[in-house]
Structure 1
Amino acid sequence: MSQRPSPFLDPGAHSAQNELGILQLRRDHLIPAVLSANTDSDYAEGKVENTRFGSFPHSTLLNQPWGTQILASVVDTGSRGKSKKRKRERDDDGQETPEPKKEVVKDEIVKAATATSGFVHLVPPTPETWTLCLPHRTQVVYTPDYSYILQRLRVRPGDHIVEAGAGSGSFTHAAARAVFNGYQEGDNNANGLLDTNGPEQAAYPKKRRRRMGKVYSYEFHAPRATQLKAEIEEHGLSDIVTITNRDVYEDGFCLGSQEELNTSPDADVIFLDLPAPWLALKHLTRSPPSAAVVKSVTASSDSPTPDNDPSLSTSQPQPTSKPFRSPLNPKKPIRICTFSPCIEQVTKTVSAMRSLGWLEIGMAEVQSKRLEVRRERIGLQEEGLRGANPSAATVAEAVQRLRDVEDRAKAFHGLQKEKQEEVFRKAEAKKKGLNLDADGNVKAGKGGKKMIEGLPPSKQDRLDRAKRELENRNVYKEGRLVHRTEPELKTHTSYLVFAVLPREWTKEDEERARRGWG
């Protein structure tokens, strides 16, 4: 194997050193972090991830099973690493002399103390989690879109996918997982074929070599292509994904230098996320299209034409230094999907597909909604309980609660009045010299404490009673089953155009089929 297994394909059971991990704060709030417990940090605890729910040193994240709840740690994020400003000394010419930097050498990482609150969940990197936390360089193809695209294109392990418009790399990671069927070993040809004949099988007839899955991604913007290539290297996907900085409108999809594009990716699946996908379709054919067809495809009111852009001229034949080479797999039908936000782009793309021989053309729009299904418990008996609505469910409950409040208020005012009368009676008894008992009441009188019976329960009494009754209740069976849609959808408007380009059928293929099938 040429490199370590990718954490997106085989994350293992535990988090590891120098591997990518995802900190999940909430369902849709995730933070990526390359876990590294080294001393090269301003904190005594080593490298630390500071979040709204607390600080998490990487030493507490390493060697943890995926899905573990990690408690926050006590880390000084305010004063540590800062030094007091000193006046700089000046030389004879009046220039400031720079103060030499002091290197702080740490022998070991201080063990972090657990905080009283705050936690996150440590989850492995997947295309779904990476889509939610990747650095946005362009508009992102979200999970509802690329999952439907890969299913509709019938992508399977061993296929070759051509992606134009890599952007932030969301679809690239999902496509790499979909086509992965192993790593290349030994001497392989440019088409990514793996020879399954080992040394012990030399005496046996030669078997069919396994075709390795590949993703060929093209990006016009050079800084984005460089950054995506670095991410692919860091994620361990460089054996599967090939990033190329190129203008596919002009140079097509074959691999190699711009002077000589002589290597075909033998693509089985095409995905175009481009502003003008119809301009790239002239390169996605099995044979060079005629000049009239190319002119009809490229001619548009709001796109470059041979009249205003000499590079698109099709009146002259193609130069011999760049002979046409199809980037498609000649042995299989090719499936394509274009990703366009405007219906005007769809109409031009469909017109170009019809001119170039694509069949089964259709458009789809993905409008995904996440539904939350739960039981809704409403009633005054739910007061103080979690996950319920402690409001009156019926008019009778509301009226009874109002009566309880009024009765308690009346009893409270009655007690206050009796207390005032009791104080006044004791004062009069002392003036008259009457005998009082140990409680301060007149012995011969009827001034004992009055016990109030049938008093409505207080709020604390209700909360205590609800907690006691909860032990014998099956709350998962109570309440009405309801479903609600999430307020914000993690997707955007897009029109997906699908089509199929059948394989070429020659006279030799027809004759071979006749001999084989009689």
Structure 2
Amino acid sequence: MAPTTLPSPFLDPGAYSASNSLGIIQLRRDHLIPAVLSSSADSEYAEGKVENTRFGSFPHSTLLDQPWGTQILASIVDTGSRGKSKKRKRGTNDEGEEAPATDLKVEHVRKDTVKTAAAASSGFAHLVPPSPETWTLCLPHRTQVVYTPDYSYILQRLRVRPGDHIIEAGAGSGSFTHAAVRAVFNGYTSPGAFADGAETASAENGTVASKKRRRKHGGVYSYEFHAPRAKQLGIEIEEHGLGPVVTITNRDVYEDGFCLQNKDEEQIAPNADAIFLDLPAPWLALKHLTRSPPSPAVLKAVAAASDPSTPNAESSVSTSPQPPKPFHTALNPKGPVRICTFSPCIEQVTKTVSAMRSLGWIEIDMVEIMAKRLEVRRERIGLQEEGLRGANPSAATVFEAVQRLRDVEGRAKVFHGLQKEKQSEIMKRAEAKKRGEKVPAAKGEEGEGKNTVKVDGLPPSKHDRLERAKRDLEKRELFKEGRLVHRTEPELKTHTSYLVFAVLPREWTKEDEERAAKKWK
């Protein structure tokens, strides 16, 4: 089915940046700014909409229709005279009476076209397309987010493929939501359709002439308890063009479960193939993630395991007769379902594992992700690096250190020798004046200049060394010099949390056993 909206830049960014589309301005490795690019002239700047950063100003007119990855130079933008109105202080009129305050409106001349921006002398940024990785680094934080090292491993362990349906509980800021969309996307389906899309071709007489292979469209079903966060996430999802693939629901999954309702208030199952729970108490939501309604004994066991400190934990499960509610499973009945829970405390892990065992989950495993980034670069050390960027201007060998000491001591010796000669010359001239002899003018006294007598064989000064390093830099190939080293970054951009994985196998009935026996006998 053809998409009802424009392709999302997260799924198909294209080769060039476009108007009314999201772009990422990368200033440094971990410093990114999201911006919805606009060509409109309706702005307080003559250059149109502008992104002001510490590295300069970047008008959107310089960001549009650029290949992704282009280096954009900063522009000269007048950021001082952008006010549209000012208040004049109270004063006196010509008659000496106090005059009321008036508004001095600054006429802001607007044109149909945006003023061409002039490039600044310094400052640049890179324009990169939006992706789950870049969005995770620059999204507005409403809660703690799941970073790339975590969600990439989670999606791999859950075996998420294009066309799968995944449940996410605890959406928060939407970092995992964007990564899950890219993993399950398998084409667009009609908005609001929870069932899989199918295409069949039938003959005019009603008999099926041919059947095309069913195409399963992927989907992400995201649940958030906090209403403002759910609303804001829904706005971002629509702005990013991911609405046909993502279903945002404001709900308490502990009580209401994961099944959805259509317009006729019928329960529609997400048919989830994978589940990710980022909840404070994931064990309380596991009772809704079963293939059949759990028995009262199982519910008592789950309640007892979830709060072992309470002596009568089993009493928390009501045994009074209540009208039975129709049970609808949110899981895919045709295959195994995999789950991952994200918990920061080992006590939460213990309760979750106990509830999983009581509800039939198998292959339970716990993992902790500790990702580190290695910085690989060339390390240049030596006295020839003095005054150059990206190098260590210290002695690399004993010979360089000794030679530098000789130069310093040599210049000091020459300096002190010149000082002694000068002092001796002054004393001789003073004695000659006392005897009444005619003393010729010394060097440096005539004219306005200083004494610039050069001494042959004098070791080079710091100024001489810096000038020589600049001249040699024109002939050097710095990318080939230095020792190749790698270092671990000091800060880890991740959580210290525990990931619990488990598998719920497909429910096997007697009919399935009989069909398998007939097929494989």
**Which bracket does the TM-score occupy, shorter chain normalised?**
0.7 to 0.9
**Structure 1 equivalent of residue 224 of structure 2:** 219
| SS at 1:492 equivalent | coil
Please tell me whether residue 374 in structure 1 is matched to residue 377 in structure 2.
yes
Please report the TM-score for the alignment, with normalisation by the length of structure 2. Answer: 0.86
* Compared CA separation, residues 99 and 298, structure 1 to 2 (3 A): farther
Deviation at 1:469, TM superposition (A): 4.4
In percent, how many aligned pairs have the same letter?
73
**Structure 1 equivalent of residue 407 of structure 2:** 404
Please tell me whether residue 193 in structure 1 is matched to residue 200 in structure 2.
no
**Structure 2 equivalent of residue 485 of structure 1:** 488
**Structure 2 equivalent of residue 445 of structure 1:** none
* Compared CA separation, residues 411 and 435, structure 1 to 2 (3 A): closer
**Structure 1 equivalent of residue 449 of structure 2:** none
What amino acid sits opposite 2:340 in the alignment? C
Deviation at 1:417, TM superposition (A): 5.0
**Structure 1 equivalent of residue 110 of structure 2:** 106
Deviation at 1:49, TM superposition (A): 1.1
**Contact 2:227 2:250 survives alignment (8 Å):** yes
Deviation at 1:78, TM superposition (A): 2.5
Counterpart Cα distance in 1 of 2:189 and 2:347: 42
Counterpart Cα distance in 1 of 2:247 and 2:312: 35
C-alpha distance after superposition, 1:32-75 (max 9, x if no partner): 11111212222222211111111111111111111111122222
Q: How many residues align?
A: 499
Deviation at 1:128, TM superposition (A): 0.6
Deviation at 1:439, TM superposition (A): 12
Counterpart Cα distance in 1 of 2:34 and 2:170: 23
* Compared CA separation, residues 501 and 112, structure 1 to 2 (3 A): same
**Contact 2:24 2:128 survives alignment (8 Å):** yes
Question: For 1:254, which of 256, 259, 278 is the aligned residue?
Answer: 259
Please tell me whether residue 206 in structure 1 is matched to residue 211 in structure 2.
yes
**Structure 1 equivalent of residue 361 of structure 2:** 358
**Contact 2:86 2:105 survives alignment (8 Å):** no
| SS at 2:181 equivalent | helix
Question: For 1:137, which of 114, 137, 142 is the aligned residue?
Answer: 142
Deviation at 1:416, TM superposition (A): 4.9
| SS at 2:210 equivalent | coil
* Segment of structure 1 superposing worse, 166-175 or 290-299: 290-299
Counterpart Cα distance in 1 of 2:101 and 2:454: 87
**Structure 2 equivalent of residue 91 of structure 1:** none
| SS at 2:393 equivalent | coil
What amino acid sits opposite 1:122 in the alignment? L
**Contact 1:168 1:224 survives alignment (8 Å):** yes
Please report the TM-score for the alignment, with normalisation by the length of structure 1. Answer: 0.86
| SS at 1:7 equivalent | coil
What amino acid sits opposite 2:71 in the alignment? Q
Deviation at 1:76, TM superposition (A): 2.1
What amino acid sits opposite 2:174 in the alignment? G
Deviation at 1:471, TM superposition (A): 5.4
| SS at 1:250 equivalent | helix
**Structure 1 equivalent of residue 129 of structure 2:** 124
Please tell me whether residue 339 in structure 1 is matched to residue 342 in structure 2.
yes
C-alpha distance after superposition, 1:202-241 (max 9, x if no partner): 9852122110010000011111111100100000000100
What amino acid sits opposite 2:410 in the alignment? D
Counterpart Cα distance in 2 of 1:160 and 1:378: 55
C-alpha distance after superposition, 1:65-98 (max 9, x if no partner): 111111222222223215331479xxxxxxx999
* Compared CA separation, residues 289 and 240, structure 1 to 2 (3 A): same
The runs of 5 or more residues in structure 1 that have no matched partner are: 89-95, 442-448
**Contact 1:225 1:243 survives alignment (8 Å):** yes
What amino acid sits opposite 1:517 in the alignment? W
Counterpart Cα distance in 1 of 2:499 and 2:128: 31
C-alpha distance after superposition, 1:366-394 (max 9, x if no partner): 00011112232222122233322110123
